[in-house]
Structure 1
């Protein structure tokens, strides 16, 4: 079980003396095209190997009758699948925990809980993930197992940092250091990485002196063990602090030093980060030409899951600086990259931002074209006026009429845009309110279910004369969960989105009532787990229902996201 950290991949290419090849082949082998092909080939072979290994482990699992072996296979499958497809890893993680309980091994149970917590972390179910990490921490208080406690504290601290609770995150990182013996290179690497995380967290709360203290310690340790990757990360964090405190020359020195290390280690993601950071640095100084040269090195990279955020932010900076220079063609190209990466991130908020940027760009482009046409008309009018004085009055009148018409049109469009934004904001606020209330009810229902389960456990320890009373309490708790939740949801949803069902029935008249209800849940961007809690239907059944719904909505075989499709359904109708 490892703490969350970007993995480092090493590409080994066996070399052959270049004299053995003709000159043309030698040039090709030394070119960037050959390196790109080699990277793609290695990635392909690595993916194929991973899939092959997964299939082998699954085949062994089906054949195995040994509980201990089954535990190991489920744990290994969990670790292999979690990073790419956490939803598919969840059944293996849960099964591993059950098998660990059957083996009655506390150590295996703790490891299974950590693996399961990792899966929930990847699924962004942070409350459940934290619950499992805390469970391991409390269980090991009396008889500590250092490596397990280190993992639990670091990963639960990561969740706090993601949620911007930096003080709690720092406290957990500091606690994790107590359980890390510094006697191996691996542990020293972990310590250096953790010191960098602590320094970065202090940077976020603007405690720059403390941040530099930890970053300097991390840098010293990283140099001691020659961890080039972490040295570059620490230098980058130090550069950010100097930039925020107005020490631009010192910040630039650290950014460039980090980049040089990443060049030497051929760290693709690190180089992209350094180029982005330098582009952002020069953009803040309004040195757009230099900023462009660095940012284009990021946007020129192939789209990859680890680079999406950097591609997204770099293309946005390019759009801004091209727009500032009135280079609309280049701005549009940058905007296309921004939109493409944004779609890949499946973020509804970012999708709305793209729409705003597109509208703003289109407005600026039309305004620019109109100004250009206007200048041409003025020049033409002036030339005709020199030779034909009689036409000057007519042309001038036409000019002012056209200008007034254009102004009225602009005012009308601006008014319509304001009304549209106001309506969208109102709907968005009501959506958030409805979602919050529904999730509150879900949490309440989940709490009632937990209490019911605990009462069932208590019931088993009581005498038979108390069974009826306890069962009555459980029945009373469970009796009104689903009707209350669904009725509340139905009334409020129809009030906010009164045209949504009408639009659905108009375009897809063969949808059943349960499918219409599922559409409403997805419209609010509820997760499968949340829908399961509301409808009392298993997550697996909901996934099947979503697949059938895609087929009925004619989305099968397309890349269209179901949630985004439903979110935009009534919006598109309202804009016509």
Structure 2
């Protein structure tokens, strides 16, 4: 026994020494922002348990606090109660001027706010993160997830091109979690859908469906099936659309997502009508109306689509009085939807501008503070020299950045005006197209009705057509305001060059400037196409244009 005890004792001693040395070696020192970001990247991307040995260093408390917050966030049903703790951590990082670390915490906080329907606060915070981060992305933990979230923000606010740029960066960078990858591919599908590229939209959406099936999230599987059905509908593959939409409807009912169930039935009705199955379309429309009436949860977009499909179905059935009512409802909800879209875009652009202005002011304050600090540590002669140099530099930078800020404001306002004008013109063209379809329906069905009934319906519908096709004086004022915003000083130049134009001639010239066809101009002005041609001829004479000069090209040049 004595011969064995000595080696065992020595072995135990060696093991203890070894364990002690490992512990000392593994105790990580977090004394810089770079080390802090590396620690978060290891423990949060993907999420893993914290190391057994707590790190040391002056930033170790912040490192552990954020990892613990993220763990509590995953397990908490009332996660918004953690927001004050996020706020305290951000204050600590801001006071230490750890901008990249602050940007990462802001990103996570913005994502939490946005997912919990605090969208305004989430948007403002993530845009502040974008300005704060600048182009310093190399050390940002899980940068792909940040790009994916930025893409979601831009697609939700109607900025498809910018959204696609961020989402493609996200795919190239990789993701912390598979769920982020799913949402990214889903948003890529939605972006391509909005851009009209249905093959790309289908490819991305099927990729998202594959991922979410692996994650076994049944509710999200249902949502993605519906997205694919909607893309097939736009692509013109109505049978495939019905197959996926039916699966979406079954899942929506199972999960009691009544707004989704209503929207699915409306899209099914549209698919059925494209296939000529009007009885099935009627069943879907009645079911959509029934669900919407019970849940009172349908958006203006769904209502617009519902009345558009209902009006087409009623026209096939020859129910003209109800058809007229549905057209009125369609126009009403179209206007509401366009107004909401303009408001959303305006608010988003306003938030972008506000954040950019605040960041600019903060940077200016930082420059001034640094200048004051330097002045205190220099002698009198150096102070005078440096003060003069800094003063010149400050003025130069101030003017340069001021011009840049003014240019950005101008570009944001111009882009907003262009999009509002495009939405306005698209709404007018859609309305005119529906009115032309209505006129065609009247002419086709006139031969199928008794003369006295046709006359009565024609009088009522003619009144509706005339009322809907003409733009009111208030509408013209809004229209000319948007034109002036996009084509600045157009009306002033026109008045200087041709001071004797009548209001009617100014309106005709405005429509030519916007490249309206003769048929579209006739509908806008409430006159016949021949009358528009004659008005154009009289205008040429009045402006004394030579035969080789195009009226359109002359107006485009104003």
TM-score (norm 2): 0.47
Q: Which has the higher contact order (CA 8 A, sep 6+)?
A: 2
| TM-score normalised by L of structure 1 | 0.45
Whichever of the two has the greater Rg, that structure is: 2
